[in-house]
Structure 1
Amino acid sequence: MNRPRRARRRATRLLLTLSLLAGLALTSAACAEEPPPVVSVLGPWTGDEEESFEKVLDEFTLKSGITYDYQGTTSLRETLLAQVQAGSPPDIAILNSLGELTEYAHQGVLVPLPEKVRERSPQPWAPELTVRGRKNTYWTPVKVDLKSVVWHYPGRSAQRGDWCVGMGSGATSGWPGSDWIEDILLQRSGPAVYEQWATGELPWGSPEVREAWETWGRLIGGGAQADAALSNDYDGSDHKGLLKRSGDGCRREHQGSFIRRLYGKDITYVPTSKAVAGLHNERGAYEVAGDMAALFRDTEGARALLTFLTGDQARATWAKAVSERNRPFFPVSVGSYGDAWANRAVNETLTGARRLCADASDAMPPGIRDAFHRAVLEFLAAPSDKKLLSGLLQQLDDETLRHRELLTPRVPSVCAAPQGGLYGAVK
């Protein structure tokens, strides 16, 4: 992010704070009023995504008189862990890892959600945990995405080996491949098998899981395409999306609904089950992900902000603050999509789902998730090598066993029927 933009936003927040202080001074006989509380928020959004989210936070400040201090970072896990270990966590942190959140909850670091927020926190994004013998919900989705998605140019016929794959990103590598394997397993074997595997009850070496890896290996193939996958970032070298590349036969991309922010109306999407031969989504199940907000400090301001973020006003403000193709999805609808080019299709898919399943690697303990991502990268070196795959799956089973022996807490469930039936953003 450039410095002038950050300076302008900080100046805006300062003006808001000064205006609030001036109002307090006018309505009080005392000149030494206490300053309004400040809520610290740590989240994943930087650049233009940070700008749009801060418009929501500004709306909260105007409404409540509570100011905020938002820190956006692409190294969210490391930053949050360092702050927690130093005894100075943010009031609210927003992250997508259910596995990390589960560990924080069992460590006693998280505060259970206020009742009003808990009522707005649907599964599979916010499962109920049993911690120290008591059931509670510890995080709530503020933004969600559909993962069972393939993007393509309409009218271009599909060909073998024409998949766009970029395994790297600014924060971590491997997750675009784990998304592929997870989605194939869900579409081929159904939500019951998927949930058993995601929660550690089904071995990595089971026939269903192995077949998902092998199916992805056949789709990607080896040689130049696998090499390109290992050397590319998921958003392309120019940060405009892999489908915008030319001259390499890249025509289709399996990526979450968030990727539409990089594309225009010339690119559309279909569910994975319609794009990959042999996948038949007869169960109406789709993989989803989300950005979850959790309370690390039990303050009045933090509770008020969390309540605001899960309400219609915040969602409407957020949706209107960005361009049509960058509008976020929410766990409930706050309006209609109108004729938005891809938004309506994503919304209809989620609306028609019979089962939604959280991203499996997000739900795994961090150690297993990281091992999964590393295994995906190693697998791409030789996707047709059955001996290599057997070794990788055994390593993942060994890592799972190690965490079981350490009594590492796990998310109890990852699949659920949609609650409310509507997902979306305002027109």
Structure 2
Amino acid sequence: MNRPSRPGCPRRPRRRTGLRLLLTSCLLAGLALASAACAQEPRPAVSVLGPWTGDEEESFETVLDRFREKYGIEVDYQGTTSLRETLLAQVQAGSPPDIAVLNSLGELTEYAHAGELVPLPDEVRERSPLPWAPELTVDRRKNTYWTPVKVDLKSVVWHYPDRSARRGAWCLGMGSGATSGWPGSDWIEDILLQRSGPAVYEQWATGELPWRSPEVREAWRTWGRLIAPGGSGTQAAAALANDFQGNDGKGLLAADGRGCAREHQGSFVRRLYGEDIAFVPTTEAVPELANGRNAYEVAGDMAALFRDTGSSRSLITFLTGDPARATWARAVPERNRPFFPVSVGAYGDAWANRAVEETLSGAKRLCTDASDVMPPELRGAFHRAVLEFLAAPADHDLLEGLLEQLDDETRRHHAQNAPWVPSVCAAPVGGGS
């Protein structure tokens, strides 16, 4: 190792004591420089909080490994199923992660208006398409504050190819380790989108259309008729006891006498089944919802910057690039392959994967999950209302009471000037108009 040369000392004649002190100081300074040169410089690090655990975390770590190798930056990833609570606690403690990944646009909107988020770098903003990443006006400035890392298609019904998607009992499971009730809110959102169109859907999702409007009320009633034909609530009641993944974690879709034959669920459900699973749009599985709009509900996992550092900017830029997406796509079995806002090519031959990509890119309108867009308290009230509704889906008085409560909650947020996501629906990148 080459020792750094000792710095020169200023000449101070006549005073031997002063000269001796100066020489000692210079020697100590030289030793300090030598020690600094010998010490190994710590690698910069980025902390990331996200929703992926288990095998999903393992595949994401493959992407992070490529980043570590390329940039020499360490990444500390923490995956949790209690994302909202963990992030809120960290923010309140003044120690948020550098980057957080979450699906709630309503939560992200609140964090942005509270000054907790950093606007995205220009390169990332350009890769952050609608409807997943709308611009927000914060302090009279328009900026984009989050970017979709991966996305999912909704508005589809899964079935086995040898069984019709138009017949058979519905697979229903309202339980979830995170927030129970969302499989039901997905149903209501999709029905409203297909019956009333993207414009009405967006008005409702952004708090402008009352819950007791005829369009929203009819969406709930339509779902009640689908899951409780003839007024029987047996199947609906059973959904309250079922996890959306099946209580054995192997999925609800009928295989060996499970009692249901078709499932309304997002594209992530493929990971619970074999490669022979197929889907059709909800509008084909439920004839009364048929229309020519070619509109789909979508969801996504959004990355946002809570700390503005060179390392955090490098990582969020990397995660939205094609090389990282291609690495992620190759790192997992086909049935667990992630989807992105734009295609990065076909990795594997599973029919469902190709069909999902073609549906996302070929739609005329994509609309983000409405409950993900709502303020967190309203989102939670919506999910709870779904669970209460399932106790008696044919009870009109019960429904009116639930809708009134949701209208009250919406008014409360408006009275508090709570921020809302400004837009929900858009054409896909390179898609319809």
CA deviations over 1:248-290 (Å, ceiling 9, x no partner) = 4200000000000111133211111110121123111110000
**For 1:44 and 1:76, how far apart are their aligned partners in 2?**
6
Select which of 159, 176, 191 maps to 1:184.
191
Q: Given residue 96 of structure 2, which amino acid in structure 1 is its aligned partner?
A: P
Check conservation: 1:112, 1:295, Cα contact below 8 A. Answer: yes
How far residue 332 of structure 1 moved from its aligned partner, in angstroms, is 1.0
| 1:110-259 superposed matches below 5 A | 110-157=117-164, 162-221=169-228, 222-244=232-254, 246-259=256-269
Q: Which residue of 2 aligns with 1:381?
A: 391
Select which of 53, 56, 61 maps to 2:68.
61
Structure 1, unmatched stretches of 5+, are 1-28, 423-427
Q: 1:245 to 1:223 in 2, by over 3 A?
A: farther
CA deviations over 1:325-358 (Å, ceiling 9, x no partner) = 1100001111125532201111121121011000
Q: Which residue of 2 aligns with 1:417?
A: 427
**For 1:314 and 1:353, how far apart are their aligned partners in 2?**
25
Identical positions, percent: 80
How far residue 158 of structure 1 moved from its aligned partner, in angstroms, is 5.4
| 1:271-420 superposed matches below 5 A | 271-337=281-347, 339-420=349-430
SS at match of 1:389: helix
Structure 2, unmatched stretches of 5+, are 1-35
SS at match of 2:296: strand
Q: 1:283 to 1:337 in 2, by over 3 A?
A: farther
Check conservation: 2:155, 2:281, Cα contact below 8 A. Answer: yes
Check conservation: 2:148, 2:300, Cα contact below 8 A. Answer: yes
User: Comparing 218-227 with 353-362, which one deviates more in the overlay?
Assistant: 218-227
Q: Does residue 31 of the first structure (1) align with residue 41 of the second (2)? A: no
**For 2:410 and 2:238, how far apart are their aligned partners in 1?**
30
Check conservation: 2:363, 2:428, Cα contact below 8 A. Answer: yes
Check conservation: 1:143, 1:331, Cα contact below 8 A. Answer: yes
Check conservation: 1:161, 1:220, Cα contact below 8 A. Answer: no
Q: Which residue of 2 aligns with 1:101?
A: 108
Check conservation: 2:181, 2:386, Cα contact below 8 A. Answer: yes
**For 1:346 and 1:184, how far apart are their aligned partners in 2?**
20
Check conservation: 2:224, 2:394, Cα contact below 8 A. Answer: yes
Q: Given residue 114 of structure 1, which amino acid in structure 2 is its aligned partner?
A: P
**For 1:131 and 1:208, how far apart are their aligned partners in 2?**
32
**For 2:38 and 2:303, how far apart are their aligned partners in 1?**
36
CA deviations over 1:173-223 (Å, ceiling 9, x no partner) = 000000000001001110000000000010000111011101100111043
Q: 1:370 to 1:167 in 2, by over 3 A?
A: same
SS at match of 1:238: coil
User: Comparing 294-303 with 146-155, which one deviates more in the overlay?
Assistant: 146-155
Check conservation: 2:109, 2:419, Cα contact below 8 A. Answer: yes
Q: Which residue of 1 aligns with 2:12?
A: none
**For 1:166 and 1:302, how far apart are their aligned partners in 2?**
38
RMSD: 1.6
Q: Given residue 262 of structure 2, which amino acid in structure 1 is its aligned partner?
A: R
**For 2:136 and 2:276, how far apart are their aligned partners in 1?**
43
Q: Which residue of 2 aligns with 1:5?
A: none
How far residue 240 of structure 1 moved from its aligned partner, in angstroms, is 1.1
**For 2:164 and 2:420, how far apart are their aligned partners in 1?**
42
How far residue 421 of structure 1 moved from its aligned partner, in angstroms, is 4.0
CA deviations over 1:52-84 (Å, ceiling 9, x no partner) = 001100100000000010000000000000000
How far residue 157 of structure 1 moved from its aligned partner, in angstroms, is 3.9
Q: 1:206 to 1:333 in 2, by over 3 A?
A: same
